[in-house]
Chain A
Amino acid sequence: SQQGEEDPQALSIQEGENATMNCSYKTSINNLQWYRQNSGRGLVHLILIRSNEREKHSGRLRVTLDTSKKSSSLLITASRAADTASYFCATDSGGSNYKLTFGKGTLLTVNP
């Protein structure tokens, strides 16, 4: 079963605007990772945030994690048409279990 639930399922914005996607999960996690997938191709790793971290930045990306609410958000600032893709969150429970459980994903469309 899916661990995470992303919302919104689809998001359409104009170039230059910010895009925020949310992810909720059900059980305790060790890490949460965000991935991007362009047109059904392979997944590109964006960022990993550990359960003891609250916020992380990478370029135009900002990820937050609230373990008390079992949720995370991905913010893309100053979006570009090239950011058009599906975005997935994935969690692992740590220890010797490195399996990832994926959310349903958010389809982001950035209009030029």
Chain B
Amino acid sequence: SAVISQKPSRDICQRGTSLTIQCQVDSQVTMMFWYRQQPGQSLTLIATANQGSEATYESGFVIDKFPISRPNLTFSTLTVSNMSPEDSSIYLCSVWQGASYEQYFGPGTRLTVT
């Protein structure tokens, strides 16, 4: 399976600011996804990061709030913009390599907004 890293692992941010989370994979992958896990909850898909084109967002998530980039097949970023305390969550990237349907996850970024 791919080795996935995320930066930062955690951060405490002030309301109204933005944070960019990086996801790096050690091999080229077909698809990359971003998920949010609110405190005590399960995971919800934010968007599919498309290489070389705009991300595909799920219902309830918009590009202005969660801009995503994927400049190549091993790297993606998620920005959480104009943060509020409700954005406090764990943000996880996942990858799908194409050999099977298994998806693998990064270690997550724990964000606290004060």
What is A's interface to B at a CB cutoff of 8 Å? 2, 30-31, 33, 35, 40-45, 48, 50, 88, 90, 92, 94, 98-105
Which chain B residue has the least Cβ–Cβ distance from A89? B42
What is B's interface to A at a CB cutoff of 8 Å? 1, 4, 6, 31, 33, 37, 41-45, 48, 58, 90, 92, 94, 96, 100-108, 110
Query: Given A88-B42, A99-B33, A105-B42, do A40 and B103 touch, yes or no (CB 8 Å)?
Result: no
* Interface of B, helix, strand, loop or mixed by DSSP: strand
Query: Given A45-B1, A98-B31, do A33 and B92 touch, yes or no (CB 8 Å)?
Result: no
Residues of A with C-beta under 8 A to B92: 42-43
Residues of B with C-beta under 8 A to A2: 42
Contact B33 A92, beta carbon cutoff 8 Å = no
- Number of residue pairs spanning A and B whose beta carbons lie under 8 angstroms apart: 61
Contact A102 B42, beta carbon cutoff 8 Å = yes
Cα A100 to Cα B103 with chains together (Å) = 9
